[in-house]
Each structure stands twice: as C-alpha cells, then as structure tokens.
Structure 1
Amino acid sequence: MPITSYPFDGQDTTETQYSLLFRELQDTGIADTYGGPSFQVSATGAGMTLSVQPGFAILRGHAVSSTAVETVTLPDAGTSSRQDRVVLRLDPAANSIGLAVLQGPDIGQTQTDTGIYEMSLAIITVDANVTAIDAGKVFDERRYAGSHVGIWTTNLRPVHPRRGRLGCNTTTGRWEYWTGTAWTDLIPGTADNTTRWNGYTLTVSTSTPSGTPSPDRIWIQPTS
C-alpha cells in the first residue's frame, strides 16, 4: 500500500485529507465553554420557530461559523406528540454545513465517515395540536470540542479558560481545572482531620476527640 503524506509546498491536498487530519486534532463539537451560548437553540415564542445563536463548531474535521442569530421552523404539529431534532449538517457533496430539522418519530443522527454527518444541537418535544413551541420543551443536546491539557505557573494560568480546562500547575505541583469561576485542585491536598464520608463524620486523631459522641460519628485512632 502506498504511503501518503501531506500537506507540503507545491502539493495539492484534498478536502478528505484535510478533514482526516483535523478530526484527529480536535473533537467534533461546539467551540465554546460548557453551557456557553454558541449554537444554543431556544423557542422564539412565535409559532413553530426556533432561534439558533451564533457560534463556531467543528464537525468531523470541518469548521462552521455563524455570526448572526438564525431562525429555523419546525413542521406543524400533528394530532400526536412527537420529538424533533435541530442539527448542524455537514454535506461534503454540497460543500456546506448548515442547520437542519429532523422530524420525529425517527430523529437519529446520520454520522457517516465520508458523507453526511450530523451533530445534534437540541431535541424539541412538539405536543399534539400546538401552534407555538414552549420554551420548556427545548432540550439542549450540544456536545463540546475538547479542551487541551496544559502546563503553567500560577501567574501564567490561561486568561480566559473554558469550563473544565485542565492543566498542571508547576507552582503548586498539582493538577487543577477551571470550574467556571475558580481554579480548583483536581485531587485535593491534605484532607481536613474531620470530614463527612458516606453520611458519617469521620475523625482521625491520636487522642479522644472532643465533643459528644453521636450515632453518625466514626473515630479512627492511629496505632503509631
């Protein structure tokens, strides 16, 4: 079997080759912090329409960028309840990625290796005979592109990390992650001498702990 390598100067590189390369570099998903607004779907309150927020995403090695709020319209409700799905659809034959609606009852995503590839943004419950979509019937199904594992000092932590960003802090000598509001050790350091464990207060002490014994209290005394 011949060996192929790319990209190099003066060499044509195909769409298929590039997508194979980039899907190894980044997961399929929304390029945003977890729970962020990118490609978020919501009911407009006007008929069977939904709003999709701007965003950036990667689908099987291809990129899609939206810079304005888009509107999608669901098919009219029927006499029975159903579920629809809003997806981003990669269509290599059309050289495009766009929004599409999959109408129930079969709303499984198509995810081929070379052809159509769909990534779900939301599932919508369409109740029987409704004329407008209720906000509480839109369920977020966005997946997010992976965050890179990093290494830094306390002073050189990422300035705008996404939730879940993981890295090794060489100042503290610990792995830490961004909760969305603060950097937190992945594995806590020294545990407190008293902690809750499976509903019990656990105390490790070489001498009898102070306080009144109680049914939910466990005392461990080291032998040395």
Structure 2
Amino acid sequence: MAEADAVAVIGLGRFGRAIALELMETGTEVLGIDADEDIVQSLNGQLTQVVRADTTNEEVLRQLAVHEFDRVIVAIGSDVQSSILTTSILLRMEIPHLWTKAVSDAHGQILSQLGVKHVIYPEHEMGRRVAHLVRGAALDYIEVDDDYAIVKMPPNRIVQDIRLGDTDLRQEYGVTVMAVQRGSTEWCNADADTVIEAGDTILIAGPIKKAEAFGQLR
C-alpha cells in the first residue's frame, strides 16, 4: 500500500485519529495501526486500511510493510514505552520522514536523543497558540519556527485604504502582509498594489513579538 502519497499513522487515539481522517480528506492514503481493537473497529471503512497490531514488534511492522513508507507518524500517547520502542524500530528502518508525538518534555528529550527530527508536542503547541490568540486581535496563529509566526487578523488602521507599496511595514513594524481575504472570497496574494479595506482579513508574517505587537494595534 506504500504509494507515493501514503502515510502510516501508528496510534489512533484522538490525536492520531484526527490526523488520519484529515489526511484521508485531502486524498492521502492512510494505513492506521492501533493496539486497541475497539478503536480499530470504530475506524473500519474510514481509512484506506486499519489494523490492530503490536507496533513494538519489528516483524509485525515489516509484515504490514511499514518499512516501505516514506512518511510515518507515531501518535501513541498513553504508553510512553511503546512510543519509544516503536520509534526506535522505525529509526532502524530508516524511515525518511518520521514524526513522533511527545507527551512530556522528558519523553520529547528521549525521542530527540534517539534521533527523531520531528517531535510533536500537541498540548504544548496548542497552549502557546491559544495564549497568543488571547493576548491580541489575532483570529488564528501559527508558529512556524521558534521566533517566527504567521497571524490571521482583521486589518488595523495602519494598513487600511492605502497601497501596501506606500507603507513601510517591514521597516517600521517588522512584518509583511502576505495575503488578503475580502468577505467570503478566496485568499489572494498581497502585492505592492493591494489596497486593504475595513472588513477584510489579512495574513501577516514576522518575528513573533513583532507580529503580536502589530496585531494589538488598532
């Protein structure tokens, strides 16, 4: 089943289930694996393939052809030992793109020491995101690096009714307007000739503190 656009998701609790179903919505084939038969049965027919299996057993993973996947997500959250053992096997298999969920800083540190390049902290990252949303006028917030974010927000007076090319946002505020949405229309890339109106929604990008400060301006 390891097609070019296929992903294996190991651990189908709330986090893994949400990922697997969203991938299916976008047309990606998904192999879902969980140790709980009830969970597997609940997803039967919703994923390309879903099986009950012990993923701490390398032979089992090979029988499921997991080693043939380029992308694997380990979303096991309730059993740290299983998460670490499963991840260790996948690293030995040299899976090109491996993401593993961490349930604590200690868990994440172990995963990083094992060699996992993509350690996911869902609760930590969501907590940071909500904190930034609460602080300003942002409608949505995505942290793309330790000190860089993309913010969805209503336009403030600084960018309204003026060509973006006639502003100096990057020098004065350290942010860039990337895209604009007018009402319920599709997003459009912003350029120097774009004029933003009250009621529009904009996407800005910049260092976190500067993006947040710009979002608090009225």
The TM tier, using the shorter chain, reads: under 0.3
TM-score between the two structures when normalised by the length of structure 2: 0.24
Greater fraction of residues in strand: 1
TM-score between the two structures when normalised by the length of structure 1: 0.24
Greater fraction of residues in helix: 2
